[in-house]
Structure 1
């Protein structure tokens, strides 16, 4: 990795966006092997099922990514930001969730690819009722990644009590483990060079 590369923080956030997309694809591919009954089964977690947890993370991604994209385009905040939560579980099948999650993950990658270090402290406004929420892009992106990691861990634990083994999610693109993700990268149309150069 070239240590002289400009915009190191923005580059790191882009690698986080790629890792987020890959981890979601790996986890949802495992969940896709569940029967619908197992996908919906009541389990012990913050949200009561794998289906409910995956729907929640998707809705939260829509919520924050909309705010980030609007800020990037110098648009006014969404006038009804809670519309992204109009349905608690907008998708009933894992296949639909996987498709929609990949779509939002690709939007997040595109947003991070457009960032520069000197833009990351710019304020993003979310027009919450009563008082707007004001966050820098750095903080909002960090929050979004942490939220995903948190709930992926919950789904991972719930999978352990199902007929499908939870996939490894505890790596961050280690150079020596590229072969372990090569097939998934190929399916996503990604390469190691795309992420690291």
Structure 2
């Protein structure tokens, strides 16, 4: 497996994990979704909003670099408002769209282009990262905050879903229903 293909499988894993986690969160009442909880962000709603807005921020930077465009002039625009979605339904739709953008981006990657530099404007500062490093950071960011939501779900009537049944061959059946719901096949993930 090439590194670019591995990053594509990470993007698929990211989309699948978000699908599975948000599908579980749809079982919460609005009050449970918004309830104060112990974590970095003070609720499931706040944490899920953070995940999607950070995705918008980084995916925009990756796509702009790919098109040869200048960095977004105002990175804070992605975080205003801080919580753009009041409901889990709205979040799920927005996250799904972001996940598909990321998958499409990763599908176009080649190993020889992973070292290209992506520039992100942060006020007067310019952050410069290779595509490979920025994608690695984005995937870790997602895992980090999904884990927080997973832990917060443990304090609700909704059972936290299994989020580690993606890569192993032995878990093929455990992810089959989700893949059907997403319109994906095993061949799309691994070929």
**Short-chain TM bin:** over 0.9
1:63 maps to: 57
TM-score by length of 1: 0.95
1:38 maps to: 32
1:169 maps to: 163
Residue of 129, 134, 137 corresponding to 1:140: 134
Distance in 1 separating the partners of 2:81 and 2:108? 31
Unpaired runs of 5+ in structure 1?
A: none
Distance in 2 separating the partners of 1:47 and 1:100? 19
Asked if 1:155 corresponds to 2:149, the answer is yes
Asked if 1:195 corresponds to 2:162, the answer is no
Distance in 2 separating the partners of 1:99 and 1:172? 21
Equivalence map 1:100-119=2 (5 Å): 100-119=94-113
- Deviations for 1:1-53, whole angstroms, at most 9, x for unmatched residues? xx6xxxx0000000000000000000000000000000000000000000000
| Count of residue pairs brought into register by the alignment | 191
Distance in 2 separating the partners of 1:46 and 1:13? 27
TM-score by length of 2: 0.98
SS in 1 for 2:86: coil
Unpaired runs of 5+ in structure 2?
A: none
RMSD over aligned Cα, in angstroms? 0.8
2:68 maps to: 74
After TM superposition, the runs of 4+ consecutive aligned structure 1 residues lying more than 2 A away are: 170-173
SS in 1 for 2:125: coil
SS in 2 for 1:162: coil
Residue of 82, 88, 91 corresponding to 1:94: 88
